[in-house]
Amino acid sequence: MPVIKIFCAQRPDTDACERLAQTLRDLCIGPMGAQPNAIQLMLVPSVQMLDGAPVLVEAHYRDRPDRKGPALAQFLQGVDQAVQLAFGQQPRIRSFAVEQSTLGAVR
């Protein structure tokens, strides 16, 4: 964890996807303090948005004291900027802090 899912109607070109992935990794490692091998990034194209924003981002991460306040704000602002740059559209972003005691995971 973190797990970032991006739902969109059309995927950006390959170069934009690579830049987006690198920026998201940097944000996970930097402000969120994630281990590189714990990051999961997903792009889910061909989603038919019936209403709302054209791009939806969900970020799930382990709830820790160092991932609140300024660190979370920096992370979310960075995600917003990176997604807008890649897609040329303003995303809706939702973040979910998962309590460690409720998390079950393999690898």
Q: What is the 3-state secondary structure (H, E, C) of 33-46?
A: CCCHHHCEEEEECC
Give me the pLDDT at residue 107, please.
64
Put simply, whether the predicted model's pTM sits higher than 0.75 gets the answer: yes
Give me the pLDDT at residue 90, please.
95
* Residue ranges per structural domain of the chain: 3-100
Give me the pLDDT at residue 104, please.
72
Distance (Å, rounded) from C-alpha 69 to C-alpha 77?
A: 12
3-100, which class in CATH? alpha beta
Give me the pLDDT at residue 1, please.
73
Give me the pLDDT at residue 105, please.
67
- pLDDT < 50: residue spans in the chain: none
CA contacts within 13 A on the Cβ side of 6: 25
